[in-house]
Structures are given as structure tokens and as C-alpha cells.
Amino acid sequence: MKSLDNVSTEAELNQKYSNLLELLRNLGKIAVAYSGGVDSTFLLAAAKEAPAEDLAALTMKQPYFADWELEEAKEFAEELGVKHHVFEVGVDDKIRENPHNRCYHCKSITFTRFWDEVSHLGFDTLADGTIADDTQEYRPGLRAVKEQNIRSPLREAGFTKEDIRQMSKKMGLPVWDKPSNTCLITRIPYNTHVSDQDLRQIEYAELFLMKEGFSQVRVRKHDDIARIEVDPEKIADLAQSEMINRVVPYFKSLGFSFVSIDLEGYKTGNMDKAILKNLNEK
């Protein structure tokens, strides 16, 4: 949990936002790598307000991202009046084997494709939603951000996740309280081959639980076992017999043989623990 000492005051937040707008105005024509999440949505809205000299949103439609998130991204870009370009690609073989640096390969492929579009549009800058908090976590994708000269205005302006949620709420952005999400492959242990069927199992299982009222949810897939993570205070709701009688048959219809509840609840980066342990021991 975030320390209250690290929460920006209203004055500090307003100053950060003023600095961000000035930064964005100086980046020329900006293409934003846009996922529809809290951070990239806030960045897109800020670039629109700045205003940037010209602005476009670039989104990659990939099998390891849920379709419902893409639809939400399309809707918001349309509401904001920003040109939105969606590109569809399959799963690269390196990514399908789910190595510990999977995010680096994914970002490299995505940014390379986006730079092609940036050049085609005649834009100056490709920006992403990296924030100050990201440098404190295991994020191999940051290497690709540096290698491909991606600007990260939110990080440069010192925005944390809490800052962005506060400012997004103030601006009336619909995603201000949207739970954090990541690609579906993060639900599968590293160095495990990932099939399209695995991804759809996870997507449909999580969507089912979200419709049942569990906003922050992960369905971790271990072979034919589903390990469900929800907010700790929601575990009791999930464990109710009435809920279990709905969840288990549905999960089994997706192809899971066993359905379990993680009694520690949802924790970001759960699948990174072993990797971080190995890196720290080296």
C-alpha cells in the first residue's frame, strides 16, 4: 500500500500536470502507444488538452490481450475525438514460449510496428504510458522503451499511479478507478508454452468473474488448474457455496479440470517472484 507521505498534495499534483502539458506541447506531433488502461488513457487525454500539434492513438490487437479491453479503448478514443489506428498481429514464437524477458520481445515488436506508422503519418514522437512507479518493479519492457527512443512523458513529469488516478478522477475520465491489468500471458508461469486456447480460457474465465462483481481478478493457469486471485476482502464472497456452484461448472466448461482460490488474494507480479529471486541471487 502506498505511504501517505508519498501521496501528492493538490498543489503538487496541479504543478505536475502543468509540467506535463508543457512537455507534451513541445513534443510536436505525438503518437501515443495506447492500451486503454489507466495510464495511457490519461496520457492521451492530457495530450489532447495540451494540445499536441497533432495526435493519434496506436493500439496493437494481439491474442494475449482481452477483446473487451480493445473495445473500451476504441470507445474512449472516439469519445475523445482522437484518430485511432489498430494493428493486428499474431503471437511471435519467442513470446509464445513465455521467457522471463517476454515483455522485452513484445515491446520491441510493438514499437517497431508503431514507428513504421509514425513515419507514415509524418509524426515526430512516439510516447508510451510508462510511469514513475514502473522503475521500481520487474519491467523488462523498459529496455525496449530505451532502445527505441520512446518518450515517457508521465514518468518524465514524475507521475505515480496514485497521481494518475487522482488526476483522472478530477478530469472525469471513465478509467480513473479501473483495476490494473496486464496481458493474459502474465497468468501463465514463465517458460511454459502458451497456446491460443490457453489465452481464451483465461480471458473468458476472468470476464465471467468480473461480471459476477469481482473487479480486481486474475485467473492463473497451471496446466489444467485454475488458481483464482481476487482482492483479499472478496475471498469470502468467492468462497460462498452459491458462487462456487456457478464458477466451477463454468470453468470446467472452459477446459479446466480443477478450480482453486488463492487464499492470499490478488498480488501484482505474483508470477515474477521466482524470476526476481533468481536475479537477486546472481
Same topology between domain 4-171 and domain 184-274: no
Per residue in 84-128, pLDDT tens?
999 998 899 999 999 999 999 999 999 999 999 999 999 999 999
pTM to 2 decimals? 0.89
> Three-state secondary structure along 75-92?
HHHHHHCCEEEEEECCCC
Which pLDDT does position 57 carry in this prediction? 98
Fold of 184-274: GMP Synthetase; Chain A, domain 3 (3.30.300)
Low-confidence ranges of the chain (pLDDT < 50): 1-5, 276, 279-280, 282
CA–CA distance, 251 with 245 (Å, rounded to integer): 11
Which pLDDT does position 270 carry in this prediction? 62
Domain ranges within the chain, ordered by starting residue:
4-171, 184-274
Strand partners, 261: 228
Q: What angle do CA 248, 181, 241 make, to 5 degrees?
A: 20
Q: Strand (E) positions, 183-248?
A: 217-222, 225-230
Fold of 4-171: Rossmann fold (3.40.50)
Q: How far is CA 128 from the centre of its chain?
A: 12
